[in-house]
Amino acid sequence: MRIGIDARTILNPERGEAIGAGHYAYQLIRHLLEIDRENEYVLFFDFRVREKDVKKFSKANVKIKFYPFSDYKKYLPGAYSEILGTATLMREKLDVLHTTSPLSRIPSTYSGKTIVTIYDLAVLKVPDAFPVLARTKTKAMLSMAISKADKLIAVSASTKKDLCEIFKCSENKVQVIYSGFDKRLSEKSVLSREEVLTRYSLGMEDKYLLFLGTIEPLKNITRLFEAFVLFKKSFQAKAENFNYKLVMAGKRGWLATEYKQLAKDLDIEKDVIFTGYIIGDDLAPLFAQADFFVMPSLYEGFGTTVLEAFATGVPVISSDVSSIPEIAGDAAMLVNPLDTKEIADAMFQFSESEELKNNYREKGKKQVEKFNWEKTAQETLALYKSFK
């Protein structure tokens, strides 16, 4: 077979998608090339990506193609997408094309067989958590990708359910293939506790709750802060010295600047630390040194960060909505994300009981073993082969 994979989310100079769709595409391609020497792969990268950056994907059965650019794109965007995009894809005579993000548009005039991976439908399920322009654009692109695709991959059963309900997709059109988990996070950290605390301006006596994700309304930041205030009051009612910090790790998203003001308004400015985007090597040690992890998201298509916390031995408090119960099982303390008191009570329970945290640590280590990229690649390859 000749299999095309749209890898434009990897090393994208415009969007910089090192996480999310880019991470999925990178890990899937890497593991497919490890298990499959039989089929031919054509990988389509953004035209601005340097050739030296894609050398890691070079194999005997791999052809690297760069998606075309036209100097007239700004004048004829529709013609650019349709004519050059379709011509580029058709020239490769693919048996199937896998688009790893619905935001990477398949030209409407492309007539080959296609698969599209759908991660979540948060923009439709929680529309108020997105700016109007973003949700209008994303909804339109989702609709086009879903109607164009011959098959859809949903990264969780929850996402499949949402797809079938909102877009009236046939269940036979959607296959659930869980994403994997980066095993490097299970490796012992090379950074000491002291190095981690110093790097992120934490005192040596401090304990911290870790949040990891884009700083945006979808992650329920306002209620997280309000729950932290309640947790602090409960803690101080039993002990004088409150030595917990709330570490907010992740890139700035929509309304991010307002959360710093909110921390001031709630009088927890000194307790909240915004780290910004965390580079790969710092991720595991930052997880490992946390007292526990908190993710009260309003919606998650898969919930990779929950698995990351499990792998690094950190007890987890997370939402009981969308895909999270499916992915976490009984290995996380699940809470109603709309109930700040319930979130705060969970924080307090973890702060009081080492035995409770250890119980969740052990469950988490077992749960994360159910997810691996080798299995993701094998199931995806089987789907490709169904187009023979």
**Domain count within the chain:** 2
Please indicate, yes or no, whether residues 303 and 360 belong to a single structural domain of this protein.
yes
AA letter at 83: I
Please indicate, yes or no, whether residues 263 and 334 belong to a single structural domain of this protein.
yes
CB 293 within 8 A of CB 317: yes
CB 293 within 8 A of CB 314: yes
b/e map of 48-85 (b: 16 or more CB within 10 Å)?
Answer: ebeeeebeebeeeebebbbbeeeeeeeeeeeebbeebb
Summarised one tens digit per residue, pLDDT across range 116-128 is 999 999 999 999 9
Please indicate, yes or no, whether residues 265 and 133 belong to a single structural domain of this protein.
no
Please indicate, yes or no, whether residues 105 and 209 belong to a single structural domain of this protein.
no
Q: Which residue has the tokens 């011509």?
A: 87
Summarised one tens digit per residue, pLDDT across range 61-116 is 999 998 776 444 555 555 656 777 888 899 999 999 999 999 888 888 899 999 99
Please indicate, yes or no, whether residues 119 and 221 belong to a single structural domain of this protein.
no
Token digits of residue 239? 């002990």
Please indicate, yes or no, whether residues 52 and 161 belong to a single structural domain of this protein.
yes
Count of residues in the chain? 388
Please indicate, yes or no, whether residues 203 and 332 belong to a single structural domain of this protein.
yes
Which of 249, 264, 181, 173 shows the shortest CA–CA distance to 215? 249
Please indicate, yes or no, whether residues 73 and 190 belong to a single structural domain of this protein.
no
- The angle at the Cα of 374, spanning 28 to 158, to the nearest 5 degrees, equals 70
Terminal-to-terminal C-alpha distance of the chain? 7
CB 256 within 8 A of CB 187: no
Please indicate, yes or no, whether residues 322 and 207 belong to a single structural domain of this protein.
yes
CB 180 within 8 A of CB 375: yes
**CA atoms of 313 and 316, how far apart (whole Å):** 9
Helix axes 21-35, 373-385, angle to 10 degrees: 80
The residue segments making up the domain with residue 312 are 183-368
Q: What is the pTM of this model?
A: 0.91
> Tell me, what CATH number does 55's domain have?
3.40.50.2000
Query: Given this model, what pLDDT does residue 208 score?
Result: 94
Query: Given this model, what pLDDT does residue 18 score?
Result: 43
Please indicate, yes or no, whether residues 264 and 200 belong to a single structural domain of this protein.
yes
Q: Which residue has the tokens 């299970």?
A: 186
**CA atoms of 197 and 8, how far apart (whole Å):** 36
Summarised one tens digit per residue, pLDDT across range 171-185 is 999 999 999 987 777
CA neighbours within 13 Å on the CB side: how many for 47? 8
Query: Given this model, what pLDDT does residue 49 score?
Result: 79
Please indicate, yes or no, whether residues 156 and 274 belong to a single structural domain of this protein.
no
Point out the residues of the chain with pLDDT beneath 50. Answer: 13-18, 70-72
Please indicate, yes or no, whether residues 57 and 31 belong to a single structural domain of this protein.
yes
Query: Given this model, what pLDDT does residue 17 score?
Result: 44
- The angle at the Cα of 301, spanning 322 to 227, to the nearest 5 degrees, equals 60
